[in-house]
Amino acid sequence: MRAAGFRFEVRAKDPDTGARRGRLSTPHGTVETPVFIPCGTQATVKTLSPRDLEEEGVELVLCNTYHLSLRPGAETIAALGGLHRFMAWSRPLLTDSGGYQVFSMAELRRITEEGVTFRSHLDGSSHALTPERAIAIQEALGADIIMAFDDCTPYPATPDQARTSMELTLRWAERCLKARTRSDQALFGIVQGSVYPNLRAEAAARLTALPFDGYAIGGLGVGESKGQVQAVLRHTAPRLPAERPRYLMGLGTPEDLLLGVAAGIDMFDCVMPTRHGRTGSLFTRQGRLSIKAAAYAHDERPVDPECACYTCRTFSRAYLRHLFVADEMLGLRLNTLHNLHYYLTLMAEAREALAEGTFAKYLDDRLAALRGAPDSPANPE
């Protein structure tokens, strides 16, 4: 079964790298790629409203299957008209399968061939999550893009451990395909294999032989070095079908995104811009800035003079520092708006450079700026 109303087209390629510009069509609208996807874990991007996201130009939001299945429950959301209606978001949605959350709570779960049994982090109650159940939950939620249930391989892992995890993910992928009943949702498979090139290549070959609508690279950002991550990306991305969208799950520094685009990745998600905003760490073209620093107490400048976001157009560093130090919620919201704008602008610039045939130069210039801009200390004074 292929998804109806779902189409991906590559509109430009960079001759010097693997980068490409594309357009993803879904039942709830189109998404220009490469795209950064904000994380709306519990059907909300923390501190921001759907209107905020729309005004920033967000085209796709990720929601968390594990958390929503526990609270308020997939059945409740389905009875209320589905996830789009529940969270008042009319544009495309993506839901993960819960695989990473299972990975992240090792002390609460047990993995078998059938699936995973775990205890809720909310109340300790016992639950079971299988490939079939993960698909059923995501179909009830009604996102445009849903993910196969996978076993996220821990790091470090021996070759034998990585192969065992990869083989389980592939068997679960087949069960996910058999379990799907809705034709209006695109189902993506996930490539595992840890940092081992032969396993990543084998997983990609076997997974792409299955009729998924898109393919993701998972199991990164769990402890590997930057060099290992890049090696996996450069080795794996070209092995995924050029006519299908490619999704890198969970990685997210600005450098990660740019190098991911250069490797041929189309879609990215990460909690970094929103989480950093809530902890007062702000991304700028001059480096990362810790707004709580005492040096900003009388600073009239915006966070980033080159930024056109609402926060930078309207407020000073001094005011943002005051809000953060005073523990005012508005500060978290304004910081998050700024960081999200930074990430969205980074992807918009990459798309523009791809359209103009200047991506290689753009990549070199932005990477040089990022690597040459040290983060500000927590307290410059």
Dihedral sign computed on CA atoms, order 309, 310, 314, 315: negative
Active site (annotated) includes residue 364: no
Contact 148, 189 (CB under 8 A): yes
**Type and span of the H or E element at 332:** helix 329-356
Contact 83, 95 (CB under 8 A): yes
Q: Report how far residue 330's alpha carbon sits from residue 353's, in angstroms, rounded to the nearest whole number.
A: 34
- Angle in degrees, CA 25, 27, 29, rounded to 5: 55
Residue from 213, 219, 220 nearest 240 by CA: 213
The dihedrals phi and psi of 9, each to the nearest 5 degrees, come to -130, 135
Tokens of 32: 């220009």
Catalytic residue among 14, 96, 144, 151: 96
Contact 346, 230 (CB under 8 A): no
Catalytic residue among 144, 213, 269, 304: 269
Alpha helices of 89-225 — where are they, by DSSP H? 99-104, 131-141, 159-179, 197-208
Q: Report how far residue 3's alpha carbon sits from residue 300's, in angstroms, rounded to the nearest whole number.
A: 52
Contact 323, 315 (CB under 8 A): no
Name beta bridge partners: 18: none
Active site (annotated) includes residue 151: no
Q: How many CB atoms lie within 10 A of CB 311?
A: 23
Contact 270, 100 (CB under 8 A): no
Annotate 243-309 with DSSP letters as a single string.
TS-EEE-S---HHHHHHHHHHT--EEE-SHHHHHHHTTEE--TT--EETT-GGGTT--S-S-TT--S
Residues labelled catalytic: 96, 269
